[in-house]
Amino acid sequence: MKIGIAYDLREDYLAQGYAEEETAEFDRLDTIEAIEATLQDLGFETDRIGNIRKLAARLVAGDRWDMVFNIAEGLKGFGREAQVPALLDAFEIPYTFSDPLVLSLTLHKGMTKHVINDLGIPTPEFAVVETLSDIHAVRLPFPVFAKPVAEGTGKGITASSKITTRKALHSVCRSLLAAFDQPVLLETFMPGREFTVGITGTGEEAKAVGAIEVVLRKDAEPGAYSYTNKKQFEEFVEYRLVNDEMAQKAIEVSLAAWRGLGCRDGGRIDLRADAQGVPRFLEVNPLAGLNPLISDLPILCNLAGVSYRELISRIMDSALKRLRK
């Protein structure tokens, strides 16, 4: 079986003049090499495709694959993660991970939380600020937490993201709106433990790999799993595999969210506990990073005793089941 690999290579965009933070979600070459080597070890023939423009050129040239292992994040717009899957759907080529509807929905954290609310899954109260004038209508109790509505890898999250005054709220929102040219998500700040739950599989067959607690070290940027803390996680973050009652509740909430949103094959869900110890859904990453050494999902799997090879195998097994229907 021939597996194409679709991805956005960070060094390509840096060479075009994009900034470090702009390209933070894109993949390093060693990630692509690790995925390709593992797929080959599992018995698949591989073909590196690259980003959507390269994919489009290959499709026009007549190239086809039995399946595409898609980790392309895209560059512009709320539908950027959905672009490659939509193109593959048009050519009737199957692919790993979620479909365009899910990837467009989940990139926008505000829209995702509307659905999560409708599903009855616990999540912090929230508001979306599209312009500075929207701030006047925000009635969330302080402290609140602010972040760009459609970014990952902690982009836009700093110590100032935890806001305690109306003046700071206006200042932080103004800064984020200008820096990221997208709405700002405001949430009631959750003071409890922070979890990441790894999931593999689809629908009722989805299973949690495990839960890790994200613990900031004393020298970390305070108050948040921020861009800086994520970038320098070896220095600032401790990941603890946990299986206590609260962690089990986090897993229960995560599986309900994963299935309710329609996510597929593998990914992560982030949660934080409220003052009463209830883990609440923060966001889902249906295209989780897959670097074997520095990405949260492989780190979680390693702590849970699941090898990188087994993780990729589970993702492929889940995706291949769709071919047999």
pTM value is 0.95
Question: Averaged over 183-195, what is the pLDDT?
Answer: 97
Question: Averaged over 21-26, what is the pLDDT?
Answer: 88
Residue 308 and residue 209 in one domain: yes
- Is 109 within a domain? no
* Average pLDDT for the chain: 96
- Is 102 within a domain? no
Residue 180 and residue 233 in one domain: no
Reported as type and span, the H/E element at residue 49 is strand 45-50
217-247: pLDDT as tens digits: 989 988 888 889 888 999 999 999 999 999 9
Of 283, 248, 254, give the one whose Cα is nearest residue 145: 283
pLDDT at 22: 85
pLDDT at 325: 67
Place 33 in a pLDDT band, splitting at 50, 70 and 90. very high
Residue 319 pLDDT more than 90? yes
Residues of the chain by 3-state class (helix, strand, coil), percent to 5? 40, 20, 35
CA-based radius of gyration for the chain? 19
Residue 182 and residue 216 in one domain: no
CATH number of the domain where residue 32 is located: 3.40.50.20
pLDDT at 20: 84
Domain tally for the chain? Answer: 3
For residues 292 and 260, give the distance between their C-alpha atoms in angstroms, rounded to a whole number. Answer: 28
- Domain span including residue 220: 191-324
Question: Averaged over 110-131, what is the pLDDT?
Answer: 98
DSSP secondary structure letters along 259-288: HHHT--SEEEEEEEE-TTS-EEEEEEETT-
CA 119 vs. chain centroid, Å, equals 20
